[in-house]
Amino acid sequence: MPIKTDGTAVVKDSDAGTDTCEAADAQPVRITRLQRELAQRLAQDIAAGVFELDSHLSEKALSDRYEVSRTPVRGALRLLAESGLARCKPNSGYYVARRAQLDDTEGTPEGAPLTSDDLYRRLVADRSYRLLEDSFTDSDLLQRYGVPRSTLMKTLLRMASEGVLEKRQGHGWRFPASLADDDVRRESYRFRMMIECAGLQEPGFTVDVRAFQDIRERHEALLADPQRPIDSHEFFALNSMFHEMLARCSGNRFILQAVQQQNQLRQMDAHPSSYPVTELDRYVREHLDILDAMEAGDQEWAVAMMRRHLKATQWAA
């Protein structure tokens, strides 16, 4: 990807506020290594189809996804705009301008290979778009991604420990039953109804005031502008965060592990863009209703709403 490595870029040294790509009153600063690496990771995810053409590259969503502050995200987006992968809409932010090609994403701007985290994201994205077969060998992936064997094995063992990959007897690896299969999907949602509803009724369930407030603010932010449709990628990430947060509050480590595994399986098989956009507003409000009920101590009503919510969303991504 043609990104400057020794020039300067205009970035605002601020971690708050709404998305913007205007450079008024900004001071030129040298591009940091983190910004370059983050821009490369974004380019790789764009190439893998994680972000669709014309989709909004929300600073907040990217900050959550890559676990960094908004400042390096903002710098990375400016680098993507320089490379032509993103375009700026004043007072709105950045959007995917074109699909990255292989030569846009090979290595980092400094020629370093993919890290284990980079490879993990590529494998997840490629599997979700069915670019990877159900079964494969180490050699298949080494040839496809061009990473050192040590990086590959570290990534594969991590995925196996998370339950999203299985070691085949004798030779190779395979993905477990796919949630894209109707029967498997129904089993998954029946399991989630049992586990997540039980988690809300755990005697050790504790409302984490800070976590509840944070997740509430994130949901309310999606509803803040009735003229702006909810971004399906933002909701996809927030949805997983919401269900995992409630499982963590249950105080039951096994419920938390089960919910985390289900989220990981959905990440492998679901496309954010396949969410019914017209229903996203309702899903967000249902989450808020569940939070209200738990904060009010009405676990019975929260369980009823959770069961109804999961039934309603079981055919969404």
Residues 227 and 305 in one domain: yes
What CATH number corresponds to the domain at position 287?
A: 1.20.120.530
How far, in Å, CA of 73 to CA of 309, rounded? 33
Residues 286 and 270 in one domain: yes
Task: Select from 130, 151, 174 the last residue of a domain.
Answer: 174
Residues 152 and 135 in one domain: yes
- pLDDT score for 48: 66
The verdict on residue 3 lying in a domain is: no
Residues 206 and 307 in one domain: yes
CA 175 from centroid of its chain's CA atoms: 20
The verdict on residue 107 lying in a domain is: no
- pLDDT score for 289: 97
Specify the pTM. Answer: 0.58
Residues 167 and 206 in one domain: no
Residues 136 and 198 in one domain: no
Residues 97 and 133 in one domain: no
Residues 71 and 152 in one domain: no
How far, in Å, CA of 183 to CA of 89, rounded? 43
Residue at token pair 């990877």 = 132
Q: Which residues contact 136 (CB under 8 A, 6 or more apart)?
A: 172, 173, 174
Task: Select from 102, 134, 163 the last residue of a domain.
Answer: 102
- pLDDT score for 196: 97
The verdict on residue 189 lying in a domain is: yes
Task: Select from 156, 174, 192 the last residue of a domain.
Answer: 174
Residue at token pair 């400057």 = 4
Q: Which residues pair with 284 in a beta bridge?
A: none
The verdict on residue 2 lying in a domain is: no
What CATH number corresponds to the domain at position 98?
A: 1.10.10.10
The H or E element that residue 174 is part of is: strand 173-174
Pairing of strands 166-167, 27-30: unpaired
Q: What is the number of structural domains in the chain? A: 3
How far, in Å, CA of 274 to CA of 118, rounded? 24
- pLDDT score for 309: 94
SS3 168: coil
Q: Which residues pair with 93 in a beta bridge?
A: 89
The H or E element that residue 115 is part of is: none
Domain extent for 50: 8-102
Each residue's pLDDT, cut to its tens digit, for the chain (317 residues) gives 444 333 333 333 344 456 666 543 344 445 677 788 788 788 877 776 678 778 889 888 888 887 788 888 888 898 888 878 888 888 788 998 876 554 444 444 444 567 888 888 888 878 877 788 889 999 999 888 888 889 999 999 988 887 888 888 778 899 887 776 778 888 999 999 999 999 999 999 999 999 999 999 999 998 988 888 787 777 888 899 999 999 999 999 999 999 988 888 787 766 655 567 778 899 999 999 999 999 999 999 999 999 999 998 876 54
Residues 82 and 127 in one domain: no
DSSP 206: -
